[in-house]
Chain A
Amino acid sequence: MTERTKDTTAVQQEQALPGDRPTPSNEDGCAVEVQNLVKRYPKTQSNAVDGISFVAKRGEIFGLLGPNGAGKTTAIGILTTGVLPSSGSAKILGLDVVANPVRVRQRIAVVPQKSNLDKRLRARELLIFHASYHGVPRVEREARADRLLVEFGLADRGKDNVNHYSGGMAQRLMLARALMHTPYVLFLDEPTNSLDPQSRLFIWDRIRSLNQQGMTIFLTTHDMDEAEQLCDRIAIMDHGRILVLDTTDELKKLVPGSTNLEDVFIALTGRTLRS
């Protein structure tokens, strides 16, 4: 009897976690909430992330745009529990990333810039193991792996060792892996960097469709085209700081005469994005 009461309370508490299930009341809530976030790596002279604050709303595609070395990857690292902040706070769906990393990891997925595929496993196994780390039951995870392999055009390569995968295939597989546990917030670090145009369009298409189904997307890019094509709102980042944060149209209005985000970036920093 007591056992049962306890169980029910536990489940209720779980369901009350702010992170779960968009309901009409919290649909406009924060997916990502960052306050005065600072990261300085040991033995370095400056902050990789230098006091940034922003909010990414549920259901939006949020972009961090900036040149290489701006601190985007560090920012994503902190948000995805892989890097500890030096100060400030970061919350995913209301859960603090430092205090509650396990609960955060259940609700997010990460597609990193460089392949981190488990090379000892075959593609299909890799998807299935990812889901089983996240507690997805066997029947469900197997069905899901097969479905995603088809969806990502890898159905006939499911038994291959991922060592034999091309860059584009690896990227698709990493995205498929990220979806195996149906995250609420999907983090993509330079998702189409160094991909051929066709793979790039494919990934963009997938990102849009996931977003339409309710997934919050948080991506970094140094490609203004990508930012413009995909993002609802963009934060322009340089030297660890966020310079501006707005929709593409509003950002362009900031700089009279600008036709694209590159112009905005040059006006703000005095240099080009790709420098």
Chain B
Amino acid sequence: MNTTTPAQTTSMYDYDSAARTARSQSLFIVTSLAFLAMLRRDLVIARRDFIGNLVQWMVVPAFFLFIFGRVLPQTGAASASYGALLLPGIVAMSLLMTALLNVTLPLVIDIGNEREIEDRLLAPLPTALVALEKVLFAALNSMVAGALVFPLAYLIMGNAYQVRTGAIGTLIYIMLLAAFAGASLGLTLGTAVKPEQIGLLNSVILLPIIFTGCVYFSWSALDSIKWFQVVTLFNPLTYSAEGLRGAMTPGLALATLDIRWVLLGLAGTIIVFLSLGIKGFTRRAVR
């Protein structure tokens, strides 16, 4: 095959053109191929877990929508229009929490005990991109979870909510920002939390996020509880919920946080926690 080489031993490299071609490509191509392959891996697993994920994505928002969007208004404990205020909050919660948990839970286990992620860390791409792939996939995944809340709301609350179709573009990009904010936060948590601390996640991180995130009330309604109103500003869920309120509810004057603050809050969350998360991830991955 290779006539210029003296025939000593047959080398497997003589016939392995595939591996040789892969090695001679530019770093950009090598890296992109590895990145795409990792997305494909996550997709294969997500498809396998689809039914389980679907149930998980629907159960929590379905209960919230049913109790707060239907039972409370019908029993007179909440006003009939409460659903309009609630739905954006539930969509935001679903997006942010799905994205967050989608990064955090596998990462804590992967990087902590099992090191299952090692094969991906040994793939030919910069370590930071392995983290970015996790964030990207979780964000896209949670977009599906977030979108699912709309048909659920229709089934559970009927006409008690409205979506302003004129602002559908705004709606989508705020959903995307909320998803990436959740995933970025999840990356930081995933690299900071130890496997044995995972039980604390629920009570110490998730519940506080949900209850200080303006899911069940709008931000300006907190005018009378100033300290709490300030606390909510440290929560990306506040910006997500208020942003979606602005995009979804026309004329109801529910949106109380200016869209510019919303964008600043979400972009800030993404920048801060993505860089912290990548730093933490790299430190854990390359010792």
Contact = CB atoms under 8 A, between A and B. Distances in A.
Contacts of A182: 12-13, 16, 18-19
Interface stretch (A64-72, A108-116, A150-158, A164-172): A108-116
A67 to B, nearest CB: 21
Given A129-B37, A133-B123, A20 B287 contact: no
Interface stretch (B110-118, B149-157, B219-227, B267-275): B110-118
A24 B30 CA distance: 28
Contacts of A112: 115, 118
Given A14-B23, A22-B11, A116-B115, A82 B124 contact: no
Interface string A94-126: 000000011101110110101011111100011
Contacts of A213: 9-12
B34 A133 contact: yes
Given A14-B23, A106-B23, A125-B44, A212 B33 contact: no
A177 B13 CA distance: 17
B212 to A, nearest CB: 34
Interface in B1-31: 4-6, 9-13, 16, 18-20, 22-27, 29-31
B124 A135 contact: yes
B263 interface: no
B5 to A, nearest CB: 6
Contacts of A117: 116, 119
Contacts of B194: none
Contacts of A126: 119
Nearest to B49: A120
Contacts, number: 129
A167 to B, nearest CB: 15
A106 B124 contact: yes
B13 A214 contact: yes
Interface in A208-243: 210, 212-215
A132 B45 contact: no
B213 to A, nearest CB: 31
Nearest to A215: B12
Contact of B34 (A80, A81, A118, A135): A135
Interface string A181-195: 110100000000000
A83 B121 CA distance: 11
Contacts of B122: 80-82, 105, 109-110
A5 interface: no
Contacts of A11: 24
A106 B30 contact: yes
A127 to B, nearest CB: 11
A81 B286 contact: yes
Nearest to A162: B116
B123 A82 contact: no
B19 A82 contact: no
Nearest to A109: B122
Interface string B20-60: 10111111011101100110110011000000000000000
A15 interface: yes
A184 B287 contact: no
Contacts of A28: none
Contacts of B5: 23-24
B80 interface: no
A120 B120 CA distance: 13
Contacts of B114: 116, 119
Contact of A135 (B11, B16, B30): B30
Given A134-B124, A135-B30, 18 more contacts: A20-B20, A77-B287, A80-B122, A102-B124, A102-B125, A102-B126, A106-B124, A112-B118, A118-B41, A118-B119, A119-B114, A130-B119, A133-B123, A133-B125, A182-B13, A182-B16, A182-B19, A212-B9
